[in-house]
C-alpha cells in the first residue's frame, strides 16, 4: 500500500468553488476534458460518443439540484427555493484514502504541494481507489485501462512557457462566472484562504474524515421572493398577491 506524506505538506494547492455564482454552464467540464485529452497523461477516451450507450472519462462534472425549503413546492412559493449547481472533482484530500488503498503505489500525494496524482505506468486498473473515494472523483478510462482523476492541471500551473495568467487549472481559467478559484489553501494570507475565511467555506462531507483541500463557498442567503416583490417599484396595486404571483409581479416590474 502507498503511504501519505509523513508531515503536512507546506503548500496545499486546491480549488475554492463559489456555489452562489456557479451557473451550471459546464464550461469548466468541457475545457477540462479538452485540456486533459491533449495534455498530461493519456487522452481521456469516449466510448460510442454518437450511439445510444455513451460513456467516457471526465475529470470534472457539474450536478444541478432544485433546493426547495419546507413549505414550498415550486420556486417562488417560499423563502430560499433555488437551483444550485454543484461542480465536483478530486478534492486532493490530506488524508486521501485513494492513496493508502493503492496496492502498486500508482496513487500518491506530492509532498511539495499536496496534489494527489496517478502514475499511469504503475496503475493496474484494479479500481480500489475508486471504491475508497467517498466523493466518486475517480473514473476508469476504458480505453487506457487506468484510473483517471483531476490533476489540478499540473502541466499548466508550473509551465513557465505560459503567460502567468494561464498558469492555473483549465477549469478556473475558463469559468465565465468567476465561480472557481485556485491557490494555496495552506497559506492563510492567500486570496483563496481569505475567501474561505470571509464566506465560511466548507468541506464536502467532513464526516468522512478525509480533510479535503478543496473548499466550497455556500450560497448566500436570499430575501424571500414575496418580500422582495413588495420592495419593487410600484405600478398597479398588487399588494394582495402572495407566493408565486407576488414573485411574478416583482419580476415584471423589473423589465
Position 237 in a domain: yes
Look at residue 13 in the predicted model and tell me its pLDDT.
Answer: 98
Look at residue 42 in the predicted model and tell me its pLDDT.
Answer: 58
Are 124 and 239 within one domain? no
Position 1 in a domain: no
User: Distance between CA 191 and CA 163 in Å, rounded?
Assistant: 20
What is the phi/psi pair of residue 63, to 5°?
Answer: -105, 140
Look at residue 52 in the predicted model and tell me its pLDDT.
Answer: 86
Q: What is the mean predicted confidence (pLDDT) over 40-53?
A: 77
CB 80 within 8 A of CB 70: no
Are 92 and 196 within one domain? yes
pLDDT at 225 over 80: no
Position 99 in a domain: yes
Are 208 and 229 within one domain? no
What's the chain's length in residues? 255
Work out the mean pLDDT of the chain and round it to a whole number.
85
Pairing of strands 215-217, 13-18: parallel
* Per-residue pLDDT reduced to its tens digit, 226-246: 455 445 444 455 555 555 556
Which residue has better confidence, 241 or 144? Answer: 144
* Strand intervals (E) in 54-174: 55-56, 61-67, 82-88, 107-109, 116-118, 139-141, 146-148
Are 250 and 187 within one domain? no
Look at residue 233 in the predicted model and tell me its pLDDT.
Answer: 47
pLDDT at 16 over 50: yes
Position 3 in a domain: no
State what percent of residues in the chain have pLDDT above 90. 62
Domain residues for the domain of 157 are 13-217
Look at residue 6 in the predicted model and tell me its pLDDT.
Answer: 85
Position 33 in a domain: yes
Are 166 and 107 within one domain? yes
Look at residue 232 in the predicted model and tell me its pLDDT.
Answer: 47
CATH number at residue 70: 3.30.70.20
Are 142 and 37 within one domain? yes
* Per-residue pLDDT reduced to its tens digit, 77-135: 555 567 899 999 999 999 999 999 999 999 999 999 999 999 999 999 999 999 999 99
Position 235 in a domain: yes
Sign of CA dihedral 120, 8, 130, 170: negative
Are 195 and 98 within one domain? yes
* Per-residue pLDDT reduced to its tens digit, 149-176: 999 999 999 999 999 999 999 999 999 9
Position 6 in a domain: no
Are 238 and 150 within one domain? no
Amino acid at each position: 500500500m502507498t503511504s501519505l506524506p509523513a508531515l503536512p505538506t507546506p503548500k496545499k494547492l486546491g480549488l475554492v468553488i463559489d456555489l452562489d455564482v456557479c451557473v451550471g454552464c459546464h464550461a469548466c467540464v468541457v475545457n477540462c476534458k479538452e485540456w486533459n485529452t491533449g495534455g498530461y497523461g493519456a487522452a481521456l477516451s469516449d466510448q460510442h460518443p454518437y450511439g445510444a450507450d455513451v460513456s467516457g472519462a471526465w475529470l470534472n462534472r457539474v450536478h444541478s439540484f432544485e433546493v426547495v425549503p419546507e413549505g414550498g413546492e415550486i420556486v417562488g412559493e417560499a423563502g430560499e427555493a433555488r437551483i444550485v449547481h454543484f461542480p465536483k472533482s478530486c478534492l486532493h484530500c490530506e488524508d486521501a484514502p485513494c492513496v493508502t488503498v493503492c496496492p502498486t503505489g500508482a496513487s500518491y500525494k506530492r509532498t511539495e504541494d499536496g496534489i494527489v496524482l496517478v502514475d499511469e505506468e504503475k496503475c493496474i486498473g484494479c479500481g480500489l481507489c475508486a471504491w475508497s473515494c467517498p466523493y466518486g472523483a475517480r473514473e476508469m478510462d476504458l480505453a487506457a485501462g487506468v484510473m483517471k482523476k483531476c490533476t489540478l492541471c499540473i502541466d499548466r500551473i508550473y509551465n513557465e512557457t505560459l503567460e502567468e495568467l494561464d498558469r492555473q487549472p483549465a477549469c478556473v481559467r475558463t469559468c465565465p462566472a468567476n465561480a472557481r478559484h485556485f491557490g494555496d489553501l495552506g497559506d492563510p494570507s492567500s486570496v483563496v484562504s481569505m475567501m474561505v475565511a470571509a464566506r465560511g467555506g466548507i468541506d464536502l462531507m467532513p464526516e468522512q474524515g478525509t480533510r479535503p483541500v478543496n473548499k466550497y463557498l455556500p450560497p448566500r442567503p436570499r430575501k424571500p421572493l414575496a418580500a422582495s416583490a413588495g420592495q419593487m417599484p410600484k405600478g398597479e396595486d398588487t399588494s394582495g398577491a402572495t407566493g408565486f404571483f407576488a414573485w411574478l409581479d416583482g419580476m415584471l416590474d423589473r423589465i
